[in-house]
Structure 1
Amino acid sequence: MVRGAAKAQAQAKNAAKQEAAKGGKSQLKDREKALKFICPQCKAPSPHYNTLKTHMESKHPKADVPPEDSFKV
């Protein structure tokens, strides 16, 4: 009955592997939380105010850059 014990171990190992993979590895929700600053012109998200400021200066040069205090953090 050596094979029976090995089969049971393999099934247990596979069940643990399937359980670990069940949670998934997606970081979309964490990424969405990190993108706090949204461009008022094109709605492009940015993680930092300085990134948004650079974006606004290069993509929307005629528009005024909103102050950092105007964003909900």
Structure 2
Amino acid sequence: MARGKQKEQARDKAQKSAEARKGGKSQLAARDAGLKIMCPVCKNPTSHYKVLKEHMEAKHPKEPVPPESSFQ
């Protein structure tokens, strides 16, 4: 019955690790809160105006970049 004690210890360890993961460490809500500026053409969310400006120049070069004051 040497394996019986090891099996019990392994089960306890697995339960503890499952409980630790259960709380959830997802950052999706924080990420969504940080992405406030949307591209007016493709609705791609960005975090800052500078990133939006780079996106517009790269993906939509024919479209004018909206002024920063329109996102405040």
Using structure 1 for the length normalisation, give the TM-score: 0.69
Question: What is the match of residue 63 of structure 2?
Answer: 63
Question: What is the match of residue 27 of structure 2?
Answer: 27
1:43 is paired with a residue whose SS is coil
Q: Which moved more, 1:47-56 or 1:13-22?
A: 13-22
CA distance in 2, matches of 1:68, 1:16: 50
CA distance in 2, matches of 1:19, 1:13: 10
Using structure 2 for the length normalisation, give the TM-score: 0.70
How much has 1:41 moved relative to structure 2?
A: 0.3
CA distance in 2, matches of 1:40, 1:57: 13
Provide the aligned C-alpha RMSD in A.
Answer: 2.6
Question: What is the match of residue 38 of structure 1?
Answer: 38
Specify the code of the residue in structure 2 equivalent to 1:32: D
How much has 1:47 moved relative to structure 2?
A: 0.9
Please give the per-residue CA displacement for 1:9-55, whole angstroms capped at 9, x wherever unaligned.
xxx98776554432201100100011111100001111111010000
CA distance in 2, matches of 1:59, 1:18: 43
Show structure 2 runs of 5+ residues with no match: 1-11
Question: What is the match of residue 6 of structure 1?
Answer: none
CA distance in 2, matches of 1:32, 1:47: 9
CA distance in 1, matches of 2:23, 2:38: 29
- Structure 1 residue 50 and structure 2 residue 71: aligned? no
CA distance in 2, matches of 1:55, 1:17: 42
